[in-house]
């Protein structure tokens, strides 16, 4: 574990116990916040050697993948520190992250590597400024688009330098999400998409593919039209996650043809990503 081999890079006391732990304040997913519980970084010490730990971590990631998504991007601007021993994430405080210095160090060493920012949660002006300076694409999640007028997640508000999702691993499947919507939200979804909800997952897939965002990602559960029984993860719930698996018979259908047709109609097979 990194904490054992690089103890000086984490906020630990003399006995090796965490001083503060990671989490986020109350949010869309949990009224008491999300208490992740792992020790926080010592950004001051990481800066002393030019963020070498981060550079090597990303170097290895890019040996395995073409693009790396930075989870909880907002913490690079400011992160939520919760005193160790708290039972919820409510009693934390914001502390400054490394900001642009980390990314400048990464680019000096690795070049302009392709990153995606998970810019979800409590997004403040300092987070938006950092994202804009770096030119890293953010995320547009369609399931978040129908809870406020003219939401930035609605397709007509998207920008090319972005990644659009129907939902992520933290969301319910689109069918499960639709089943729990209140009547007002359902009316907004139906009016915007021209949908009666019969195949709501494909209505969102179509909206994602038609977005101007350079990349579109669709969870396999939505491709298969599955409900809440296939949900991948429930934030703030420690048990019962990451157990869904696709079955061989799920692939024996015409959905690959439907995806291919959508890609052809919307230019997804030919579109070149915009430069960061």
- Give the catalytic positions in this structure: 71, 118, 170
DSSP bridge pairs for 39: 21
Cα dihedral sign, 28-150-188-195: negative
Burial of residue 26, with CB atoms counted within 10 A of its CB: 0-12 exposed, 13-18 middle, 19 or more buried: middle
DSSP lists the bridge partners of residue 217 as: 165
| CA distances, 257 to each of 142, 204, 232 (Å) | 23, 17, 25
Q: H helices of the chain, where? A: 2-5, 43-48, 52-64, 100-110, 125-134, 174-180, 183-193, 200-210, 220-223, 255-266
* 117/242 Cα distance (integer angstroms): 22
């Amino acid at each position: 574990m990194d904490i054992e081999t690089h103890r000086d890079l984490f906020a630990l006391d003399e006995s090796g116990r965490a001083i503060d732990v990671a989490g986020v304040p109350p949010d869309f997913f949990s009224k008491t916040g999300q208490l992740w519980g792992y020790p926080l970084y010592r950004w001051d010490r990481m800066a002393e050697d030019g963020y070498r730990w981060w550079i090597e971590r990303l170097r290895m990631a890019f040996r395995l993948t073409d693009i790396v998504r930075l989870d909880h991007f907002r913490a690079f601007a400011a992160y939520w520190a919760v005193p160790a021993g708290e039972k919820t994430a409510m009693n934390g405080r914001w502390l400054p992250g490394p900001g642009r210095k980390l990314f400048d160090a990464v680019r000096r060493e690795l070049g302009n590597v392709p990153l995606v920012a998970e810019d979800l949660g409590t997004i403040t002006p300092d987070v938006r400024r950092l994202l804009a300076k770096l030119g890293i694409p953010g995320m547009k999640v369609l399931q978040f688009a129908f809870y406020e007028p003219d939401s930035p997640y609605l397709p007509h508000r998207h920008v090319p330098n972005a990644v659009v999702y129907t939902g992520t691993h933290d969301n319910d499947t689109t069918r499960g999400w639709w089943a729990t919507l209140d009547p007002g939200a359902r009316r907004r979804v139906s009016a915007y998409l021209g949908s009666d909800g019969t195949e709501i997952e494909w209505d969102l897939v179509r909206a994602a593919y038609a977005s101007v965002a350079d990349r579109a990602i669709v969870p396999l559960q939505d491709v298969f039209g599955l409900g809440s029984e296939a949900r991948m993860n429930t934030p703030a719930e420690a048990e019962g996650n990451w157990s869904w698996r696709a079955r061989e018979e799920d692939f024996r259908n015409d959905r690959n043809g439907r995806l291919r047709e959508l890609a052809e109609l919307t230019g997804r097979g030919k579109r070149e990503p915009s430069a960061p």
